[in-house]
Structure 1
Amino acid sequence: MAKGQVAADRMTVGSALGALDEMESDLRHLIGLIAAFRILGEADDSIEPVAVSSLARCAHETLEELERNWRTAIGALRER
């Protein structure tokens, strides 16, 4: 394998790893949101729809960011 190809492979793998590393904080955020939904669901109190909507919007944004990073990682690895 030529030196240029080795360098390109390292850069590609580095890009994929960077995108995967960025996913960690989003995954933790999503885990927290799911825990909040579970707690709210198990509570006997009435929950305002606007509160549930706010949490759902936050979860949606987090999932979009996870999807972007996932696609970046997969795209970088497919270029190899």
Structure 2
Amino acid sequence: MAHQLNKGKIRDNALKALVRSNLFRHKMERKKKGKGSYNRQAAKKWRDGFEQPSRFDLYRYTDNRLSPPCPPPIPCR
């Protein structure tokens, strides 16, 4: 059995130490549907796709001298 137990030196029983190691820990699986399936982190992730404008961009568009040129007005008929 080649498994790292991370328990130090085994003094008494090797099988008991193996069962008490992280290999035999309970693994909790999160539900995908139904009760208990709500994922708070996923609810926030939709905001990550939107980029926050930098402070420089906000300054550039508020100052008249540095603003980008406006398109020509559309003539009325």
Q: TM-score, normalised by structure 2?
A: 0.26
Greater share of residues in helix: 1
**Greater RCO, CA 8 A, separation 6+:** 1
Max Rg structure = 2
